[in-house]
Copies of this chain bind each other. A is one copy, B any other.
Amino acid sequence: MNPLEIPEIVIRRLPLYLRALNLLTEQGQVVTSSQELGERLGISSTQIRKDLSYFGEFGKQGTGYDVRYLAEQLRQILQVNRTWNLVLIGAGDLGRAIARYNGFERGGFSIVAVLDRDKQKIGNQVGQLRIQDIAQLPDVLRQHHVQIAIIAVPPDEAQGVANLLVKNGIRAILSYAHITMPADVRIQHIDPVVGLQSMTYYLVPTQP
C-alpha cells in the first residue's frame, strides 16, 4: 500500500503503541497480544491489529507479538530507528525544562543546540549545551543537518521565529505557542490550556 494512503489517525497512534511496548520491555515482558496492548491504551484489539496490518504482519497466530521485535518495526515505520537532530529556540524556563528532558534520546531525537536572542542568556550553560545566539541558526542547521525545531519562546515571538525557521529549511516544528505554517511544513502544537478546556466540559462544577 502507498504510504500516502495510510490514514493520519493511524500514524498518530503508532507512537502510543511504541511507548507501551517500551514500557513492556522495561518490565521484562517478552511477548504481548493486541488485547493486552489495547487494554493498556484504551483501544480495541481489533483496531491495533488493523493499524499494524497497514504495514505488514508482525505477530504469530496463537502467540501474539514479540515485544522487542514489534517495537523495532514501529521505530522503522516511524523512522525513529535513527537519531533526528533538533534545535530548540528559547532558553527561558520552558526552554530549559525541555533541554533537560531526557526522553528525547530514547524516542530517536537529540537536541543539538539551544538558541535565544537574549544577550544575557547567550553563553550560559543549560544541560550539556551552551546557549547560542539565534543569529547562528543558519550555521547550526546546516552543520547538524537539522530538519526539526522546537519553539519555546513567548507567544508573541513564536510566529516570527517559525517564519525564520522555515526560511532556513526546517520541515517540522513542535511549538509551545500557536503559529500558522505553509502546508508543506509539519506542525504540532502543545498547549496546556486547550487540554484543560476540553476536560472542563465534562466536569460537574461542585466548586462554589
Residues of A within 8 A of B (CB): 8, 11-12, 14-16, 18-19, 23, 40, 77-80, 82, 84-86, 92-94, 96-98, 100-101, 103-104, 106-109, 145-148, 150, 155, 171-172, 174, 178, 180, 186, 188, 190-203, 205-208
Contact = CB atoms under 8 A, between A and B. Distances in A.
20 contacts: A12-B198, A78-B197, A78-B198, A78-B201, A79-B203, A84-B207, A86-B196, A106-B193, A107-B196, A145-B207, A147-B206, A148-B199, A148-B200, A172-B196, A172-B200, A172-B202, A174-B192, A174-B195, A174-B196, A188-B198
Contacts of A96: 93, 97
Nearest to A4: B202
Nearest to A6: B201
A146 B100 CA distance: 30
B203 A186 contact: yes
Nearest to A18: B197
